[in-house]
Amino acid sequence: MTEAAKTAIAQADTIVGYRTYLDLIPELLIGKEVLSSSMMQEVDRCRRALELAEAGQEIALVCGGDPGIYAMAGLVFELAAERDSQAEITVIPGLAALNSCAARLGAPLMHDFAAISLSDLLTPWSLIEKRLSAAASADFVIVLYNPKSKKRSDHIGRARQLIMEHRAASTPVGIVTAATRENEAITITTLERLLEAEINMQSSVIIGNSTTFQWRDFMVTPRGYADKYNLS
């Protein structure tokens, strides 16, 4: 957590958020009004946060990761735009899963990458497939969000199949589950053996580009295709 995030919470009158995340910061909630997921659902919470802000309160809306990457900032702005809200909105960036997972794996994101969510709840699966193929064909490192859930256990297999049309079976793949949490698990495998690895709803998967290599327990994408640095 950054200093800026702590300061924003300290300055707020009311803290709004999903219970799981608020439970991680009990010391920051002392003396605050709290609206959590035990009281209302996501859309209602965001709408209520806007209403309170419009009425002059200072609100901190808390989520996990970076609110600006596949997270809460979008819903807030969608709702604010819908009602043309007069609330003053500031997004405080945080560490997204891609930042945390890349760090745990070594240095996989040293070159161009694409982030793709395999959830088809709000996106047609055909568009997700198109993106997987486009990213694989242009040698992007690929970060997969939402690789698997109970309802979507086969999406990761289909993604692997599409990517393997453009990339070697030996391509390094990193899987980070519950990054920095107690139950954190880190696996480095290959595209070929990807489906043998444990992957669940808390996992992010990073697939290397054609130059990515494994060294010890790390996954490293070199910074250049041309070797201008003459390291040796």
Q: Which of 95, 164, 185, 186 binds a copy of itself (CB under 8 A)?
A: 95
Q: For residue 78, which of 66, 63, 89 has the smallest C-alpha distance?
A: 89
Q: List the interface residues with a copy of itself, window 57-86 (CB under 8 A).
A: 66-71, 73-82
CB of 196 to a copy of itself, least distance (A): 25
Q: How far is CA 43 from the centre of its chain?
A: 20
Q: Which of 25, 107, 178, 185 binds a copy of itself (CB under 8 A)?
A: 107
Q: What is the 3-state secondary structure (H, E, C) of 35-59?
A: EECCCCCHHHHHHHHHHHHHCCCCE
Give whichever of 36 and 140 is closer to a copy of itself, judged by the CB atom. Answer: 140
Can you tell me the distance from the alpha carbon of 222 to that of 219, in angstroms, rounded to the nearest whole number?
10
Q: List the interface residues with a copy of itself, window 153-212 (CB under 8 A).
A: none
Give whichever of 4 and 201 is closer to a copy of itself, judged by the CB atom. Answer: 4
75: tokens are 């819903």
Q: Which of 25, 29, 40, 134 binds a copy of itself (CB under 8 A)?
A: 134
DSSP helix/strand/coil, 219: strand
β-strand partners of 175: 187, 205
The residues, any chain, with a CB within 8 Å of residue 155's CB and separated by 6 or more, are 118, 120, 125, 128, 147, 148
CB of 157 to a copy of itself, least distance (A): 19
**Site pattern 21..60 for a copy of itself (x: CB under 8 A):** ----------------------x-----------------
**Per-residue exposure over 174-187, b if at least 16 CB sit within 10 Å of its own CB, e if not:** bbbbebeeeeebbb
95: tokens are 């560490």
Helix H or strand E segment including 126: helix 125-137
Number of residues that bind a copy of itself (CB under 8 A): 74
CB of 194 to a copy of itself, least distance (A): 20
Give whichever of 33 and 228 is closer to a copy of itself, judged by the CB atom. Answer: 228
**Taking contact as CB under 8 A, which single stretch among the options 22-30, 99-107, 148-156, 188-196 is the one that binds a copy of itself?**
99-107
Give whichever of 153 and 180 is closer to a copy of itself, judged by the CB atom. Answer: 180
Give whichever of 123 and 153 is closer to a copy of itself, judged by the CB atom. Answer: 123
Q: Is residue 126 a contact partner of residue 39, using CB atoms and an 8 Å limit? A: no
